[in-house]
Amino acid sequence: MSIKQTNPNLFNYSRRKTLAVQVGGLMLGGEYPVRVQSMTNTSTMDTEGSVAQILRIVERGGELVRLTTQGSREAVNMGAIKESARAVGCNVPLVADVHFNASVADVAAQYADKVRVNPGNYVDTARTFKYIEYTDEEYARELERLSERFTAFLALCKREGKAIRVGVNHGSLSDRIMSRYGDTPEGVVESCMEFLRICHRENFSNVVVSIKTSNTPVMVTTVRLLNSVMASEGISYPLHLGVTEAGDAEDGRIKSAVGIGALLADGIGDTVRVSLAEAPENEIPVAKELVDYISSRAGHPAIESQADVTFDYLNPVRRNTRAVLSVGGDNVPVVVSAPFDCKDGNLLPDIFVSDGALVCGGEEYPIVKSSQLHAMAPDALCFVLLQYADLSEQTVARLKELKNYVIVAESYHDNPVGELRAIVHTLSLAGIDAPVIMRRNYQKESVESLRIKAAADLGVLLIDGIADGIWIENNGVSAAEINCIAFGILQATRRRISKTEYIACPGCGRTMYDLQGTLAKIKAATAHLKGLKIGVMGCIVNGPGEMADADYGYVGAARGKVSLYRRKECVEKNIPEEEAIARLLALIESDKNKN
């Protein structure tokens, strides 16, 4: 794949230019606001239950609602659901979610306002995780078969005036794509582009695009790559953003805010779904707060800066820095916090705040401002507090003379991500390799808002590889809660693992068991297993694929039946649900004893 890298302006926020798409009576993309949406978890055959849930989602501010359509009868019942919703004055666009059966997409196009198809299983057979060799001729024939079938579907959508979403899930790449590209961002993007090129060729513009994965940094870098490839081929369809299988509670919110926020910060994204393993209506306030927070940066005072030429936006790696104390170098990113009473099980910060100084390893070190640098001895250990405006030629020259310091970068700009990036890029261009801690002070935000805003601001800097630590301040939220948020952000960006990670789908009409209750039980039984990744998936659609990134998986196989996975391998099939958690724990314990 030949790629011409097209980076956004790293320092100044502006929305990516896209085509406008009509979904029912709603417009998205173009100059329209970023839209928020959710998905029902009712059976699509349950008209009354689905309508009730749609109304709850809309009441919270949802602008689109998706429903699963496993088969043609569910697709047909979308018509009844739409009619019932319209009868009570709800005109929200309804989206059909189709997997495995292209003919169901044809039926859904007659009833839904938009149809989501998954390139991984629209024409290709379900993923078997087997390597299948394709000659160039065989590969070309498969593409021709795909093109013929998809072109017919586009013609139908044109006649019906319906929109589509080409939605790739990393966990459901076809064996054909895997054989040519492997399990790579390039493979995910190519799976998407095969369909988008057909849309472009057929002049079908009512298209929304998404790429989702449960691995947040991979999700961010893969969407960045897709955006770059689309731009290089003259394609400008709007993008739907989401971190799939994000989980629930604090972790699910932080993980979603990190991934979605990192892309919104660069103007990428036209509609958002926060996927939580909770009631669907709970997703909407999180999505709205995130979108509103980033969108408020439009028209901010310009940040004049220059990008470090060595920075690779599409393949970011951690910036090379010298280690000072426990910060930078090969050390994991640190957490700075005010002191608090540590309860059993709490993970302690690495550095504590103490009246104008920072305490690291039991020793106290001063915090100095740029105006005080001239008085510092060249070898004095200190923390240097910097804002972008402080980086004069004199300050940069003095920083190059000093040896043992950590920079604490802070911003009060309307676009803090842009200004904090500007600080680090300026330092790198000057040849300064001091480690950088990112400091953000939020003004009396609730703990819920703080999770979302801090994750959106600091997550992208960690993914970019330019943060060696984070320091969050907020009046009204306890230091212990802030500490949890900070470690949650590091976990979500996979820069520092401090607890068990749960890759849990939000559930839908395909879910085979009580997802929320089961997730709570699994978390209670496995929370002590630091570093382990456990997938909790409602059904088979994306389960095995997404769990390629998990150590163990718990997947709904049928009503009342669960299958257990060790990575991609199914090791126990169709276990009675009441036995499944105990069997999962036994599997983990057995593997632990073998090792």
Task: Provide the pLDDT for residue 514.
Answer: 76
**Percent of the chain scoring above 70 in pLDDT:** 94
Please write the tens of the pLDDT for every residue from 207-230.
Answer: 999 998 888 999 999 999 999 999
Query: Tokens 């490839």 identify what position?
Result: 229
**What gap in Å lies between CA 193 and CA 226, rounded to an integer?**
8
Q: Determine, yes or no, domain membership for 306.
A: no
397 and 279, same structural domain?
no
Last residue of a domain, one of 247, 276, 295: 295
Confidence of residue 356 (pLDDT cuts 50, 70, 90): confident
**What gap in Å lies between CA 275 and CA 256, rounded to an integer?**
7
468 and 509, same structural domain?
no
Distances (CA, A) of 430 to 139, 194, 309, 369, 400: 49, 43, 12, 19, 8
**What gap in Å lies between CA 451 and CA 453, rounded to an integer?**
6
Judged against a pLDDT cut of 70, whether residue 335 lies above it is answered with: yes
Lowest mean pLDDT among 41-45, 419-423, 480-484, 581-585: 581-585
Q: Dihedrals φ, ψ of 587, to 5°?
A: -65, -45
**What gap in Å lies between CA 565 and CA 321, rounded to an integer?**
40
Report helix, strand or coil for 427: helix
Judged against a pLDDT cut of 70, whether residue 131 lies above it is answered with: no
| DSSP assigned state of 100 | S
Q: Minimal CA–CA distance to 557: which of 576, 584, 539? A: 539
Confidence of residue 502 (pLDDT cuts 50, 70, 90): confident
Task: Provide the pLDDT for residue 509.
Answer: 67
Q: Are 538 and 556 in contact (CB under 8 A)?
A: yes
Judged against a pLDDT cut of 60, whether residue 129 lies above it is answered with: no
Judged against a pLDDT cut of 80, whether residue 198 lies above it is answered with: yes
Report helix, strand or coil for 485: helix
Report helix, strand or coil for 501: strand
Task: Provide the pLDDT for residue 372.
Answer: 93
> In CATH, what number is assigned to the domain containing residue 522?
3.30.413.10
356 and 288, same structural domain?
no
Query: Tokens 């390139």 identify what position?
Result: 119
Task: Provide the pLDDT for residue 544.
Answer: 61
260 and 229, same structural domain?
yes
Domain tally, the chain: 3
347 and 236, same structural domain?
no
Q: What is the mean pLDDT of residues 164-184?
A: 86
Q: Are 566 and 551 in contact (CB under 8 A)?
A: yes
Lookup: tokens for 586: 């036994």
Residue 449: domain span: 334-492
Q: Determine, yes or no, domain membership for 247.
A: yes
Q: What is the mean pLDDT of residues 148-166?
A: 96
Report helix, strand or coil for 249: helix
Task: Provide the pLDDT for residue 558.
Answer: 80
**What gap in Å lies between CA 457 and CA 469, rounded to an integer?**
13
> How many Cα atoms sit within 13 Å of 477 on the Cβ side?
23
**What gap in Å lies between CA 574 and CA 129, rounded to an integer?**
20
- The dihedral built from the CA positions of residue 228, 115, 285 and 252, taken in this order, carries a sign that is negative
Q: Determine, yes or no, domain membership for 258.
A: yes
* Cβ-based neighbours of 195, under 8 Å, separated by 6 or more: 117, 119, 122, 146, 150, 166
- The dihedral built from the CA positions of residue 376, 380, 385 and 387, taken in this order, carries a sign that is positive
Last residue of a domain, one of 472, 492, 512: 492
Judged against a pLDDT cut of 80, whether residue 333 lies above it is answered with: yes
Confidence of residue 570 (pLDDT cuts 50, 70, 90): confident
Q: Minimal CA–CA distance to 515: which of 577, 568, 466? A: 577
**What gap in Å lies between CA 222 and CA 199, rounded to an integer?**
21
Q: Are 476 and 445 in contact (CB under 8 A)?
A: yes
148 and 57, same structural domain?
yes
Q: What is the mean pLDDT of residues 67-82?
A: 96
Judged against a pLDDT cut of 50, whether residue 5 lies above it is answered with: no
Task: Provide the pLDDT for residue 124.
Answer: 73
| DSSP assigned state of 319 | P
345 and 403, same structural domain?
yes
Lookup: tokens for 219: 């999700």
Report helix, strand or coil for 336: strand
Task: Please report, as a single letter, which amino acid is at residue 307.
Answer: A
**What gap in Å lies between CA 292 and CA 294, rounded to an integer?**
6
528 and 456, same structural domain?
no
Computed over every residue of the chain, the mean pLDDT equals 91
Q: What is the mean pLDDT of residues 122-126?
A: 71
> In CATH, what number is assigned to the domain containing residue 139?
3.20.20.20
535 and 397, same structural domain?
no
Judged against a pLDDT cut of 80, whether residue 7 lies above it is answered with: no
Task: Provide the pLDDT for residue 360.
Answer: 95
Please write the tens of the pLDDT for every residue from 364-402.
Answer: 999 999 999 989 998 899 999 999 999 999 999 999 999
358 and 252, same structural domain?
no
Dump the DSSP string for 534-565: EEEESSTTTHHHHGGGSSEEEEEEETTEEEEE
Q: Minimal CA–CA distance to 25: which of 94, 100, 93, 112? A: 93
**What gap in Å lies between CA 378 and CA 460, rounded to an integer?**
33
Last residue of a domain, one of 431, 461, 492: 492
As a whole number of Å, the CA-based R_g of the chain is 25
**H helices within 325-391, ranges in order?**
none
Return the number of other C-beta atoms located less than 10 Å from residue 45's C-beta. 16
pTM, 2 dp: 0.92
Q: Determine, yes or no, domain membership for 329.
A: no
Paired residues of 164 in beta bridges: 115, 207
Lowest mean pLDDT among 241-245, 431-435, 508-512, 589-593: 508-512
Task: Provide the pLDDT for residue 2.
Answer: 39
Q: How many residues does the chain have?
A: 595
Please write the tens of the pLDDT for every residue from 231-289.
Answer: 999 999 999 999 977 576 788 899 999 999 999 999 999 999 999 888 999 999 999 99
Q: Determine, yes or no, domain membership for 327.
A: no
Task: Provide the pLDDT for residue 125.
Answer: 65
241 and 99, same structural domain?
yes
Confidence of residue 3 (pLDDT cuts 50, 70, 90): very low
Task: Provide the pLDDT for residue 501.
Answer: 83
Q: Determine, yes or no, domain membership for 4.
A: no
Q: Determine, yes or no, domain membership for 573.
A: yes
Q: Determine, yes or no, domain membership for 308.
A: no
Sheet architecture: strand order including 569-576:
501-504, 533-537, 552-558, 561-566, 569-576
**What gap in Å lies between CA 214 and CA 546, rounded to an integer?**
7
- The dihedral built from the CA positions of residue 113, 118, 119 and 122, taken in this order, carries a sign that is negative
Please write the tens of the pLDDT for every residue from 512-569.
Answer: 677 788 888 888 888 888 888 888 887 766 556 656 678 888 888 888 888 898 887 8
Q: Are 289 and 256 in contact (CB under 8 A)?
A: no
Q: Are 503 and 547 in contact (CB under 8 A)?
A: yes
522 and 486, same structural domain?
no
Judged against a pLDDT cut of 50, whether residue 155 lies above it is answered with: yes
Confidence of residue 1 (pLDDT cuts 50, 70, 90): very low
Paired residues of 335 in beta bridges: 470
